Amino acid sequence: MLRPLTLCLGTVLSISLSSLPAIATPDTDDAESDVMIVESVALGTNPNLPWSETVQINDPFEGSFVGVFDRHSFSDRVLNTDVHVEVQSLWTQDLIRVLSIVRDRDCLSQPSGIIPARSCSEFSNARNITQLFIKIEDDVFQLAGQGSTFVVEDELAMALQNAPDTIISIRLVSESGETIDSEIGKGTVTAWESVYGMAAIADAL
């Protein structure tokens, strides 16, 4: 079943973690050891992020909240071009952010005398993703966003929280209409239960 969720980005909301004992606060030494702290929501700048783990994010512009970073990469070859695609994403209680980086390595063999000389050119660019599809069991959630960022509504948050412990398929559609199929690993799916379960607890308080 296709569930279209045409969403407009509004004010970014931050949920205080002070009332959630499972997440570290700066003055709780024992809790701090249970979760890693990340200092920014930025994707594509830190290859050593704690992927597929529930983390506390202390962003200087957007505040403090919990989330999980995910990364999936794959390669393909089209004619003389080697294509490497990496999809990074950040799943928080209010927003989903995605970064799709496509690296092309175009290698052509050109004769130079008797021995062919192999010449390669490399290109790398990020796509502006405007649509995100998430397939959870028989349901497909379709989100429309801006700047590769998508709002998480209550229905989607509930589905993410209760998603089965398996690989989840996603589809990204760029501003130019290019389609990239990717997946979310089991570790991130397991972390969704914590991230979106905490959102439900916060709403009930």
Please report, for the chain, the start and end positions of each structural domain, with discontinuous segments joined by +. 2-204
Contacts with 84 (C-beta within 8 Å, 6 or more apart), sequence order: 73, 74, 75, 102, 103, 105
DSSP state of 159: H
Compute the distance between CA of residue 184 and CA of residue 34 in angstroms, rounded to an integer.
23
54's enclosing H/E stretch is strand 54-59
Q: Which residue blocks in 9-83 are alpha helix, DSSP H?
A: 29-32
Residue type, 22: A
Residues 135 and 169 sit within 8 Å (Cβ to Cβ): yes
Long-range CB contacts (within 8 A, 24+) of 48-54: 51/187, 51/188, 52/185, 52/187, 52/188, 52/190, 52/191, 53/187, 53/191, 54/191, 54/194, 54/195
Mean pLDDT for all residues in the chain: 80
Mean pLDDT of 13-30: 36
pLDDT in tens, 137-185: 999 999 999 999 999 999 999 999 999 999 999 999 999 999 999 999 9
Q: Which residue has the tokens 């969720």?
A: 5
Q: What is the pTM of this model?
A: 0.75
pLDDT in tens, 22-57: 333 343 444 445 789 999 999 998 888 999 999 999
Confidence tier at 102 by pLDDT (50, 70, 90):
confident
**Which pLDDT score is estimated for 199?**
57
